[in-house]
Amino acid sequence: MAGICRLTAIATSIRTCKAFGGAPACPLAKRANNEKGNAKKRAVSSLIYIHLDDTSLTTHTRPHRLPPSRDTTHANTHTHTLITTSAIMATGAVDARRLQRETHHEADVVVVGAGVFGCAAAYSLAEQGRSVLLLERWMREPDRIVGELLQPGGIQALKKLGLGHCVENIDSITCRGYNVLYQGRPVLIPYPTMDEYGGVPHQWSGAGKEGKREIGKGFHHGRFITRLREACLAHPNITVRETEVVRTVRGEHSDHVLGVETRTTDPETKVKTPDYFFGQLTIIADGYDSKFRKEVTDEKPVARSRFYALELTDADLPAPGYGHVIIGDAYPILLYQIGTHETRALFDVPYDIPEAAPAAGGVRNYLENHAIPALPKSVQPTAREALENSKLRTMPNSWLPSTQQVPRGMVVLGDAINMRHPLTGAGMTVAFNDAVLLAELLHPDRVPTLADDAAVQAALRALYWRRKNYTAILNVLAQALYALFAAHDPQLHALRMGCFEYFRRGITDGPCGMLGGIIHRPVVLAYHFFSVAFLGIWMHFLEIITSGPGPLGVLKAPLAVIDAVLILAKACVVFLPLIWREGFR
């Protein structure tokens, strides 16, 4: 009976639509109508669409460029409508929505980029019952040097998204915290102990001895992304398409984004065919080199250095199970295991340093003669072997503070809108926490239809402010630590010494809880940063007054006071602009 009613409703609305010249009944259709003028020029046919949502069945006409190959049998409006209708009867709403995505390229949400953020966002929205089109230019397993260490806060978010299994069965390696080596001297900073409520009891000072500790995971980026994509491919509410998005499609009379235009490459002929995908909301997650960022912000990423990457085989790490940060004798170097036998080495190389200038032998010279000698002795042979025998790969280390957007059918998220130096391995943790928050704010209970611009805008405004609880910490920490660890001037040098001494004195749960993305209170970051600054000032003071012959060093106390002011001023110069850009802007 229900089926008959639904069918009658469909038939009636088709008649109504036809009688009124196909006037669209739903908001999406209204937007589509605006686009009609433009799209007509491109379209090769005009179809009647059955538009399904949770509560109603309506139809509208939309100029439609037929998707390549598969859909050409549906060119006739009549045939097409019949096929769609019988499919609904046979397989129910889920299959009808799949058909809607696969045949007509129309969904609630179009997600551009099946990378870290795109997969997480697509999956979480699909879990809430949204119909999702996920578009990715290259579906083959990525081979990249990014996103290989997921912090505990990222693992927690991944589990909340229902994707926790994606770090399993990929030969992932447990990471328990960091081993920081400053001029060869090590200090271990494990991830903090947690209380039964998931809080960090020693976040202000010291370190817990006993209790549960969260863990991070190291893995091959490509394997992890493949697992995320598999989860999306298996989801009944998601259709994944391998196609390259080339532009957004906007309405003729408004700048509202209706969807995207793409180029789909035929795997056999390699011929590229234009395609169109439409959604009530388009989420752009096309990564660090985003083509679409400029549509929502004038900000451009700033990079002062690049990471050069080697993959070491069977490296003998001083503290297995920990990420290693090597500072003091060279620009920062990271080492962490990404597989049973593989360790990633990332060497920070600032632009324009003389040691890496072409005349000096380029980056290879810097690595061979400056960076590798700074590594622990046990690691150096495998690093030299990798430098000799494998390709040196590189990525820019970008900083891009996030911008508030006024989404009109489109929002840009992930690295495309917000990046920090990868020194602290925070990008994926930010992305997964963003996906959790986005899904919460766009939940159908709050925003029943994504065509409701006002509700979507309110949700994304809330996202911009609420995400600062974790992004402000992770982004500022990454930039501030990089400033300290790559320091050359004497004040930053004093701050770096203070930082190392801070860890050495056992104040590690707070700093490592923030690094791990477990602590979400920016005030904890401010507290530890300035505690480090005062400790650095004190250490520097002691160094000066004990440097003279016998007690005469005390005579240098005025000099030490001047230095103290300069160090504090430098700490403010490093920290305050960052916290302003990240926290309050």
Name the residues that contact ligand FAD, by CB under 6 A.
112-118, 135-138, 145-150, 244-245, 285-287, 291, 307, 395, 414-416, 422, 425-429, 431
Task: Compute the least distance from the CB of residue 488 to ligand FAD, in Å.
Answer: 22
Our CB check for ligand FAD shows the closer of 251 and 422 to be 422
Q: How far is the CB of 433 from ligand FAD (least distance, A)?
A: 11
Quote the least distance from Cβ 285 to ligand FAD, whole Å.
5
- Tell me which residue has its CB nearest to ligand FAD: 115
d(CA 374, CA 417): 35
Buried-state track 228-243, b at ≥16 Cβ within 10 A, e below 16: bbebbeebebbbbbeb
Provide the 10 A C-beta neighbour count for residue 148: 29
Q: Which is nearer to ligand FAD, 130 or 221 (CB)?
A: 221
Q: Which is nearer to ligand FAD, 168 or 195 (CB)?
A: 168
- Tally the residues of the chain: 585
| CB nearer ligand FAD, residue 5 or residue 302 | 302
Pick the closer one to ligand FAD by CB: 29 or 225: 225
What is the SS3 assignment for 260?
Answer: strand
Q: How far is the CB of 240 from ligand FAD (least distance, A)?
A: 11
3-class DSSP state for residue 539?
Answer: helix
Minimum CB distance to ligand FAD, residue 228 (Å): 10
Which of 399, 135, 134 has its CA nearest to residue 288?
399
Position 4, amino acid: I
Min dist. Cβ of residue 42 to ligand FAD (A): 19
- Residue 171 or 453: the one with the smaller Cβ distance to ligand FAD is 171
What are 540's two structure tokens? 């520097």
Q: Which two tokens stand for residue 125?
A: 């929205």
- Least distance CB 53 / ligand FAD (angstroms): 26
C-beta of 12: minimal distance to ligand FAD in Å? 39
Nearer to ligand FAD by Cβ, of 146 and 533: the residue is: 146
* Max Cα–Cα distance, the chain, nearest Å: 101
Closest-CA residue to 173 (of 385, 72, 323): 323
> Residue 110: enclosing H or E segment and its boundaries?
strand 106-112
Nearer to ligand FAD, 45 or 394 (CB): 394
Q: Whole-number minimum distance, CB 305 to ligand FAD, in Å?
A: 10
Compute the 3-state secondary structure of the chain and give helix, strand, coil in percent, each to the nearest 5.
Answer: 45, 20, 30
Amino acid (1-letter code) at residue 195: D
Q: Which is nearer to ligand FAD, 244 or 563 (CB)?
A: 244
Q: Residue 353 CB, nearest distance to ligand FAD (Å)? A: 18
Instruction: Kindly state the tokens that stand for 200.
Output: 């960090």
DSSP string, 320-375: TTSEEEEESSSS-EEEEE-SSSEEEEEEEEETT-GGGSGGGTHHHHHIIIIIGGGS
User: Is 84 or 418 the residue whose CB approaches ligand FAD more closely?
Assistant: 418
Picking from 76, 221, 198, the residue whose alpha carbon sits closest to that of residue 146 is 221
Any residues with CB less than 8 A from the CB of 222 and at least 6 apart, and which?
A: 141, 142, 143, 144
